[in-house]
Amino acid sequence: MDDKIQQLTEILRDSNNIVFFGGAGVSTASGIPDFRSSNGLWNEKLNRNFSPEELVSHTMYMRYPEDFFEFYKDKLIYPEAKPNGAHIALAKLEEMGKLRAVVTQNIDGLHQKAGSKVVYELHGSVLRNYCEKCRAFYDVDFVLKSEGVPKCTKCGGRVKPDVVLYEEGLDNNIMADSISAISAADVLIIGGTSLVVYPAAGLIRYFKGRKLVLINKSKTSADSSADLCINDDIATVLKGAVDAL
């Protein structure tokens, strides 16, 4: 493993045009569960007629808002979570002028909390919430402290988290910015994602650069295409590689 971290350090040292594309595995070391592993959120058994995956769909949000928000507040918001070694390492790379952008499927805001400035949030953020009627903004504490379905204090409309639910489309501008960053990158590091959720997983096809690096505990469909593949904890790997620069 030390040899592979050293290889990653050399790749980082040789490039000033790196983009990172990450998923849920980036935040597991911060105490936020992923979705598809054996201990992941989608494999939890609920005392309901719905699966966790069904509960975070647009249909469930519209038809059963009480169930949706009960699950959402309990399982998708982690107000005490702090950036881990992966988030901090990526922020350092950006500060060094090496990392151009972070493209993330995560909704926890930990990249920004670690200090990253250019972050494209494909699936939105739990930190932003808007009234569906008047578009008034509400922070994450407002949603957490609300009883049942959060309602706007200005007009009484329902307050919706700024996250992309199943059956909803991604933001076109964020997708365009992500594609632009990946297309222009010299090095693309993909980490903490199983590369099975589309359209986000399809972003890899826009990379035409020099080095593709994959860091994930389990194997992915893109492993054979990578110049460097590391099946280990991403927080440990990125911290080790950046600390050695």
What are the residue numbers of the active site?
Answer: 123
Report the amino acid identity of residue 90. Answer: L
Partners of residue 160 on adjacent β-strands: 130
- H helix or E strand, kind and range, residue 144: helix 140-145
* Paired tokens of 87: 């988030």
Question: Residue 28 contacts by C-beta under 8 Å, 6 or more apart in sequence?
Answer: 34, 192
Assess whether the previous peptide bond of 83 is cis (omega < 30° from 0).
no
- For the chain, give the number of residues: 245
Q: How far, in Å, are 54, 96, 127, 201 from residue 17 at the CA level?
A: 39, 11, 29, 21
Strands 211-215 and 137-138: unpaired
Question: Residue 97 contacts by C-beta under 8 Å, 6 or more apart in sequence?
Answer: 16
Partners of residue 137 on adjacent β-strands: 130
